[in-house]
A = this chain, B = another copy of it.
Amino acid sequence: MSDASSYVTTLTDEQSLELLATKSFGRLVVRRTNDIDLFPLNYLVHNGKILFRTAEGTKLFSLNLNEDVLFEADHVEHTGETSGDAWSVIVKGTARILRDSEEINAADQLPLTPWLPTLKYNYVEITPDEGGISGRKFALGAEPERY
């Protein structure tokens, strides 16, 4: 009987961040008291942290009320109808809005473009928790016969 372990490779934090850096579109999950919300967004990996931008007044901006977040990006590449490679990196971390003008000026120099053509003045930085990075690589394939 097949075992998932032979198709799943656990990545190191370094490998996970490297893969994250190859993409620019991910998903932020924010928890509120009795609810969870997910936001698709453009991001940048910088110094082991995840950086994105958001506009004041948006629902997402209210995450300054709840700093524990989850971020995910993934990639699926099909090489055949049922075969291929994929990865998913999930980061549990703490979000912080950059307030210091020096930090903001430094962030302004980074190639981080927002997803939508609207002005977005706020930078948010996610610092991964200790042990909060979880990256996995998958070898996709057809399901084995049941027996």
Stretch of A10-18, A43-51, A97-105, A115-123 at the chain-chain interface: A115-123
> B29 contacts A116, CB within 8 Å?
no
Known A-B contacts A36-B29, A72-B27; the reply to A118 vs B86 at CB < 8 A is no
**Other A-B pairs beyond A36-B36, A40-B72, A117-B140, 14, CB < 8 Å:** A2-B119, A4-B55, A7-B116, A25-B76, A27-B38, A27-B74, A31-B36, A36-B70, A38-B70, A82-B117, A115-B138, A116-B139, A117-B144, A119-B144
Say whether A113 faces chain B, with CB atoms less than 8 Å apart: yes
Alpha-carbon distance A48/B27, docked complex (angstroms): 24
Q: Separation in Å of the A92 CB from the closest CB of chain B?
A: 8
Q: Separation in Å of the A73 CB from the closest CB of chain B?
A: 10
Alpha-carbon distance A146/B118, docked complex (angstroms): 10
Q: Separation in Å of the A139 CB from the closest CB of chain B?
A: 8
> A146 contacts B119, CB within 8 Å?
yes
Q: State which of B31, B40, B74, B116 has its C-beta within 8 Å of the C-beta of A4.
A: B116
Say whether A110 faces chain B, with CB atoms less than 8 Å apart: no
Alpha-carbon distance A36/B70, docked complex (angstroms): 8
